Amino acid sequence: MPRVLIFGCCAIFLVLAGTSLLQGQEVVDRIVARVENDVILLSDVQELKEYQELVNGKSESESAILDRLIDQWIVRSEAALSRFPEPKDAEMDREVSRVVKSFASPEEYETRKKQSGLNDAEVRKIVTAQLYLINYLDSRFRPSVQIDEKAIVDFYQTAVVPRAKARGQEAPTLDASRDLIQEALVQSDISEQADRWLKESRARLHVQKFLEKGSK
């Protein structure tokens, strides 16, 4: 579910990254969407774009990222209304560590982070915000998920076994795979429920987009 950034800024134009003393140039932020009485800024889009480039080596289009930020606004707004707790420091540390360990080495992570233009504080902010949303969606939809034995067996036979064979490996037993398969199916169901809920929620919101068509 695959992430939210900071909203609620009232200024229409903000100066970013320095002043006119910086090579005589001003970098000006702007509103790219209004969601109810809140706004999403171009800098929000750019920051998530940089994070995607860090962890995936590429990013979605700015238009797709804006849609993702609108969905994240919906989740965060409902989570805040329900007073859903923010992640604890230890949980945030684990998640940041997981991101770092997804790279071949700490050195590769540092190189990619530098290329993306993000610093440690920005990475932690984005990871924490995304973790908050993931935790909320899990708490909201997991209780209604029901996975039967047939679904587990079908997944084992159509996904686990063929994948092992394609790698020239012996497939693990069904019993050894059961817990992982069940969790994968639970996550898939949560994602489907969340997608339906977001679609319904979007239809009830007043959303205006100001991002140019074809933005990449």
Assigned domain for 32 exists: yes
* Residue 153 within any structural domain of the chain: no
Q: How many domains does the chain have?
A: 1
**pLDDT above 50 (res 8):** no
DSSP string, 68-79: HHHHHHHHHHHH
Residue 22 has pLDDT above 90, yes or no: no
The whole-number pLDDT of residue 26 equals 43
Does 73 fall in a domain?
A: yes
State which residues form the domain around 137.
15-144+182-209
Determine the average pLDDT of the residues in 6-19: 32
Q: Is residue 87 part of a domain?
A: yes
Would you say residue 127 lies in a domain? yes
CA nearest 131: which of 199, 192, 72, 77?
Answer: 72
Determine, yes or no, domain membership for 10: no
Give the predicted TM-score (pTM) of the model: 0.80
pLDDT at 49: 97
Determine the angle formed by the axes of helices 174-204 and 62-81, rounding to 10 degrees. 90
* pLDDT tens-place string over residues 137-186: 999 999 999 999 999 999 999 999 999 999 999 999 999 999 999 999 99
For residue 216, name the pLDDT band (cuts at 50, 70, 90). Answer: low
For residue 99, what is the domain's CATH number? 1.10.4030.10
Domain-located, residue 172: no
Q: Give dist(CA 99, CA 133) in Å, integer.
A: 17
Six-digit token string for 110:
């540092």
Kindly state the tokens that stand for 173.
Answer: 């037993």
pLDDT confidence of 12, banded at 50, 70, 90?
very low
80 in a structural domain: yes
What is the per-residue pLDDT across 82-121, written as a single tens digit (0 to 9) for each?
Answer: 999 999 999 999 999 999 999 999 999 999 999 999 999 9
